[in-house]
Copies of this chain bind each other. A is one copy, B any other.
Amino acid sequence: LSTNELFSGLYGRGCMQAQVDDRAFLQAMLDVELALMRALVDCGLAPPEAARELAAECDATRFDLEELGRSTGEKGTPIPGLLAALRGRLGEAAAAHLHRGATSQDIVDSAIMLVARRALAPLLGDLGRAADACAEIAEHYRASPAPGRTLLQQALPLTFGLKAASWLSGLDGARAELSEVRDHVLAVQLGGAVGTLAALGDHGLDVAAALAAQLELIEPRLPWHTIRLRPARLASALGSALGVMAKIGRDVVLLAQAEVGEAAEGAGAGAGAGRGGSSTMPHKRNPVDAVAVLACAERGPGLVATILSAMSQEHERAAGAWQAEWGTLAELLRLTGSAACVMRELLERLEIDADRMRANLDLGGELLMAESVVTALGARIGRSAAQQLVESAAGRAVKQRRPLREVLLELPQVADELGSAELEDALAPERYLGVADKLIDRALADHRAASDRPAAEA
């Protein structure tokens, strides 16, 4: 029993839980031992039957996890216990070749890389579909003006499409970084007790290469038992992905405030009050998915810091820092995977209220458009003069609580140089959106390119 089930809707949504649980780790360890045996066979160092015999025993569901857990305490890793259990099931010949040339750390490290590679598949899938949903929003709301906000204050208009395009660029950036990690960072570890591969004589490098090929992981140039750049890079990329999702989740929470009302989480098809609903407070639709994403993301930075702090590893195997990585990486993968799954669901059913955005834009009585008027007027009477004129008009508008338009039209320079029609244009948010459209195009093009790439580089 664990804390994983009760809060699984929060921290372990989707299939990610199963990717990083005990069974997954144990299976990965078995897979590494088997791949090592096959590599030995490939190099002529073990008989093919040993691999066949071993293959029949490498099923994680058939081991006693509690017993293995206890042996982890006795020996410092689960491997001695696992080997004892395996040897008991193998003939003497196969048993003699089991684990040959390897040390416990080789198996655990390679297994963690394997777990990571496997977990990245659904994780990248969810991130990709979340990005797809973002791309659709960006396209659909390409021309919908909305308030742009700095320090949570309305600043200038943008389009909701651009906001979504910005989210999209974040999701695709996180995907690219994680794909890079998957394809160029996740490597086997094989070094033997101290990194010399001495027990394999001259064959060490060949076995390592064969092992990498078996597991479809990178073959590193050197063993990396205490050079922990790979776990650090994996953790950092997961932390960055969580950070990007936190940004989107936070925006959604803010947009969903009753007083803002520009977006809401969809209720889903569930019965009753449905997702995020409350029977006692029927007016409330809680942004529960955004909250779940934020809860996962909040836990990321501390976990990444643990992995970085654990890089300080002694000599040829660390006393504590290495062992701290296992649970930390599992948790990071779980939380990132869960957040990605929720993010996808959230974006796929996000309800967007473009009318409310337009209405919110008007809350400030056109003052949001002051910069636009400066630009328009500046083209006639000079930037500097225009700026002074508009600033003082805006000041009066605020003080007198009148629309900026009215105050401006009282000024002869504005009335004469721009006139009411051009002023109208300058005050229209739709006309002051800069290159929003082109930026959306860029984000969509990049997204299509990323999605078209074959999986191995995606």
Contacts and interface: CB of A to CB of B under 8 A. Distances in A.
A410 interface: no
A58 interface: no
A187 to B, nearest CB: 11
A39 to B, nearest CB: 15
A202 B292 CA distance: 35
A48 interface: no
Given A69-B7, A221-B169, A243-B228, A299 B291 contact: no
B236 A232 contact: yes
Interface string A271-304: 0001110111111111110111111111111111
A236 B247 contact: no
Contacts of A226: 166, 247
Nearest to A26: B6
Given A66-B5, A151-B291, A298-B321, A276 B367 contact: no
Interface stretch (A15-23, A121-129, A411-419): A15-23
Contacts of A292: 73, 76, 320, 323
B7 A72 contact: yes
A420 interface: no
Nearest to A293: B320
A306 B246 CA distance: 14
A34 interface: no
B165 A313 contact: no
Interface stretch (A210-218, A347-355, A427-435): A427-435
A62 to B, nearest CB: 14
Contact of A8 (B72, B295, B364, B384): B72
A299 B324 contact: yes
A119 B257 CA distance: 38
A251 B317 CA distance: 11
A312 to B, nearest CB: 4
Contact of A25 (B3, B202, B280, B320): B3
Interface in A58-79: 65-66, 68-76, 78
Most chain B beta carbons < 10 A, residue from A66, A73, A368: A73
Chain A at the B interface: SS class: helix
A98 to B, nearest CB: 10
Contacts of A68: 5-6
A148 interface: yes
Nearest to A320: B294
B201 A375 contact: yes
Contacts of A162: 195-196
Most chain B beta carbons < 10 A, residue from A20, A97, A331: A331
Contacts of A372: 198
Contacts of A73: 8-10, 13, 288, 292, 342
A316 interface: yes
Given A149-B316, A221-B169, A281-B370, A197 B434 contact: yes
Nearest to A395: B282
Interface in A373-392: 374-375, 382-384, 387, 391
Nearest to A29: B6
A409 interface: no
B196 A434 contact: yes
20 contacts: A6-B68, A150-B194, A151-B286, A152-B314, A156-B194, A162-B196, A197-B434, A229-B244, A232-B239, A236-B236, A242-B308, A243-B308, A253-B319, A259-B260, A291-B320, A294-B319, A295-B320, A298-B306, A301-B306, A302-B309
Top 6 closest pairs, chain A to chain B, by CB: A9-B73, A294-B320, A243-B311, A148-B194, A302-B302, A2-B2
Given A223-B439, A279-B391, A297-B312, 19 more contacts: A3-B21, A6-B68, A8-B69, A8-B73, A148-B194, A151-B318, A153-B257, A153-B286, A200-B434, A204-B434, A233-B240, A280-B371, A281-B370, A282-B398, A294-B312, A297-B320, A301-B305, A301-B306, A304-B305
